[in-house]
């Protein structure tokens, strides 16, 4: 009788253990299925800028606006995610490669120019926008070429190569002024403390399009460099690159791309390039 009871107890214990292992496995599977993956209501984390008007901006009410936000939202939808399924993560320029390598984000749309150095660390879909380095000047100013900046005060952010490029290549007598943020340069431009702000024309157009800046500034319309904006993904994820490229092509063909350009840059009278062809990098 004792032996029979022991056998029954052992059988019950084995059953409990098996059920426990099964539950654990199912729990793990449920956790995986609720993370990023194949869409269907699951969450996806996307890297953007939080501080670039017209590109990627977190507003005081906690919402997000900008061309990159519109592109990323469209792409995420084509991958199977609704807007409510997107978790936006701030990815400053210096952190973009690391965020992809660690898997902190699924993809990044953050004024992310494609270049050979970055392609060693991440893969890119796109490009989806061809931007150019340009100047933002006061609306009544008449700077029409880089050389016009000789003797004038040129502003950019600390650590940026844009202002130095202008001084090296176009206006050696320009007076460089570096601030911590573009907003400080904008304030200096408005007050007359500086004569021009330089960075990508898309970023400049975003600032000029803000309600408080409308009519005060204009883009000089100079193409001082080519910046091919791509969507960064983790190195080796070729399927995701292909899926994003398909989404970008659809966004162009159905008119959503042009609408996003107009919505985000229109007030600055931004003379954007046509939508680039996938894989066509303009040097």
Q: What is the DSSP string of 134-183?
A: EEEEETT----SGGGGTTSEEEEETT-SHHHHHHHHT-TT-EEEEESSHH
- H-helix or E-strand containing 33? helix 2-33
Predicted structure pTM score = 0.80
| pLDDT tens-digit readout, 157-185 | 886 778 888 999 999 999 999 998 889 99
Q: What is the pLDDT of residue 9?
A: 44
Work out the number of other CB atoms within 10 angstroms of the CB of residue 32. 11
Cα dist from 64 to 30, 50, 60, 95, whole Å = 30, 8, 9, 20
Work out the number of other CB atoms within 10 angstroms of the CB of residue 44. 21
The Cα 5–Cα 23 span in angstroms is 27
Tokens 């990323």 locate to: 72
**Spans of the chain below 70 pLDDT:** 1-41, 159
Residue positions counted in the chain? 283
Q: What is the pLDDT of residue 14?
A: 43
* Domains of the chain as residue ranges with CATH: 44-131+227-268 (3.40.190.10), 132-219 (3.40.190.10)
């Amino acid at each position: 009788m004792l032996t029979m009871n022991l056998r029954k107890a052992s059988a019950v214990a084995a059953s409990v253990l098996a059920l426990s292992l099964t539950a654990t496995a199912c729990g793990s599977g449920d956790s995986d299925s609720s993370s990023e993956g194949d869409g269907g209501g699951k969450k996806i984390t996307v890297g953007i800028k939080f501080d670039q008007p017209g590109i990627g901006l977190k507003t005081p009410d906690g919402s997000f606006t900008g061309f990159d936000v519109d592109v990323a939202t469209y792409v995420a939808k084509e991958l199977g995610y609704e807007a409510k399924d997107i978790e936006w993560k701030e990815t400053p320029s210096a952190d973009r490669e690391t965020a992809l390598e660690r898997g902190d984000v699924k993809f990044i749309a953050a004024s992310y120019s494609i270049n050979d150095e970055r392609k060693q660390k991440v893969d890119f879909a796109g490009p989806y926008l061809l931007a150019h380095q340009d100047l933002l000047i006061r609306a009544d100013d008449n700077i029409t070429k880089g050389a016009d900046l000789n003797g004038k005060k040129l502003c950019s952010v600390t650590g940026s190569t844009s202002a130095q490029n202008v001084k090296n290549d176009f206006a050696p007598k320009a007076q460089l002024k570096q601030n911590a943020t573009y907003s400080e340069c904008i304030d200096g431009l408005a007050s007359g403390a500086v004569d021009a702000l330089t960075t990508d024309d898309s970023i400049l157009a975003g600032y000029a399009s803000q309600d408080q800046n409308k009519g005060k500034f204009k883009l000089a319309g100079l193409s001082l460099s080519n910046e091919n904006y791509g969507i960064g993904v983790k190195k080796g994820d070729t399927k995701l690159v292909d899926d994003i490229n398909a989404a970008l092509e659809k966004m162009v063909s159905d008119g959503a791309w042009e609408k996003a350009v107009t919505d985000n840059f229109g007030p600055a009278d931004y003379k954007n390039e046509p939508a680039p062809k996938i894989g066509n990098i303009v040097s």
